[in-house]
Amino acid sequence: DERAANVFTLALADEIDSSNTQLTTRAAQGAPHGLVLAAERQTAGRGRLGRRWQMRLGAGLTFSLLWRFDRGLSGLAGLSLVVGIAIVRALREFGVPVALKWPNDVLLDGRKLAGILIELSGDALGPAAVVIGIGLNVASPGEVDQPVADLADAGCKVGRNALLAALLNQLAEVLAQFDRDGFAAFRDEWHQLAAFIGQPVRLSFSHGEPVDGSAVGVDDSGALLVDGTAGRRVFHVGEVSLRAA
Ligand code: ATP
């Protein structure tokens, strides 16, 4: 498979606005599969729903990866969960016991260590171009509006280069398998790594009332199953945020 390992081209910048924004522009201009854009500092790093990603100079590892899939956008549900699995596998190589929070966060001791921002372009049926952004706290990012964790604080001294290499290798492996087999192939592993399964959670939405219930797990498309007073409900990745309740 010509798109297996060793497919990466690295571009490094001292400072950019947002690596996802830059890479999305380059993708539209025909940038190659496997292009990685990493920046020492992002002045407008983004999370989902226009939220900000905070980083202090030298304290974070942030990069974006362009991945061109054979499948169309409609086959990419569950992608952010699979990217989370790659991050957990890479961090466990360095002895860091992280867990996953649906749909797109990596937690250490219940606090947020890393975030994932996936942006898609293409159409439902043709090959999709996907920009996968990852931000990970190597040292303290400074003030953030929710509890955060960092590797230094956890006693892990891995350098950012070694960490980036491990992340890219794990990403290449899981993304190739995801392209072939979809999310269903990862569902059991995701359940093993997930925080909050079987526990009470609250789901909040940009509009409307929150939903309380017990997190059951995910289905074959990566959608979250929650048992509440009104029975079992299915939540797709989108404008939903999850918290322990
Ligand atoms: P949530 O994390 O509340 O579930 P989300 O998944 O939409 O929401 P992201 O898109 O991953 O969040 O990232 C944006 C959010 O991450 C910000 O609103 C902020 O709370 C948090 N954040 C920002 N910078 C950092 C950082 N360096 N480390 C950890 N968390 C951060």
- Which tens digit of pLDDT belongs to each residue from 182-192? 999 999 999 99
Q: Residue 173 CB: number of other CB atoms within 10 A?
A: 15
> Which one of 2.60.40.10, 3.40.228.10, 2.30.30.100, 1.10.10.10 gives the CATH number of domain 200-244?
2.30.30.100
**9-193 fold:** BirA Bifunctional Protein; domain 2 (3.30.930)
Residue whose CB lies within 8 A of the most ligand 1 atoms, among 18, 48, 87, 138, for a mutation test: 48
Q: Is the peptide bond before 97 cis (omega within 30 degrees of 0)?
A: no
Distance 2 CA to ligand 1 centre (A): 35
181-199 core/surface letters (b: 16 or more CB in 10 A; e: else): ebbeebbebbeebbbbbee
Closest CA to 147 of 134, 132, 137: 137
- Which tens digit of pLDDT belongs to each residue from 83-138? 999 999 999 999 999 999 999 999 999 999 999 999 987 777 778 999 999 999 99
Say whether pLDDT at 3 is over 70: no
Q: Where in the chain is the domain with CATH 3.30.930.10?
A: 9-193
- Could you give the CA distance from residue 97 to residue 183 in angstroms, rounded to a whole number? 23
Mean pLDDT for the chain overall: 93
* Residue 5 buriedness (CB in 10 A; 0-12 / 13-18 / 19+): exposed
- Which tens digit of pLDDT belongs to each residue from 39-55? 999 999 999 888 999 99
Residue nearest to atom 8 of ligand 1 (CA): 241
- Which tens digit of pLDDT belongs to each residue from 168-183? 999 999 999 999 999 9
- pLDDT of 4 reads 54
- Could you give the CA distance from residue 212 to residue 139 in angstroms, rounded to a whole number? 34
Confidence band, pLDDT 50/70/90 cuts, at residue 70:
confident
What is the pairing mode between strands 111-121 and 99-101?
unpaired
| Ligand 1 shell residues, CB under 6 Å | 47-49, 51-55, 104-105, 112, 115, 117, 137, 141, 144-146, 148, 241
- pLDDT of 13 reads 94
- pLDDT of 43 reads 93
Residue whose CB lies within 8 A of the most ligand 1 atoms, among 18, 83, 112, 201, for a mutation test: 112
- pLDDT of 6 reads 57
Q: Where in the chain is the domain with CATH 2.30.30.100?
A: 200-244
Hey, what amino acid is at 57? L
Residue nearest to atom 2 of ligand 1 (CA): 105
Q: Is the dihedral of CA 147, 166, 70, 134 positive or negative?
A: positive
Hey, what amino acid is at 108? L
What is the pairing mode between strands 129-137 and 111-121?
antiparallel
Number of continuous H segments (helices) and E segments (strands) in the chain: 4, 12
Angle (CA) 156 12 72, round 5°: 90
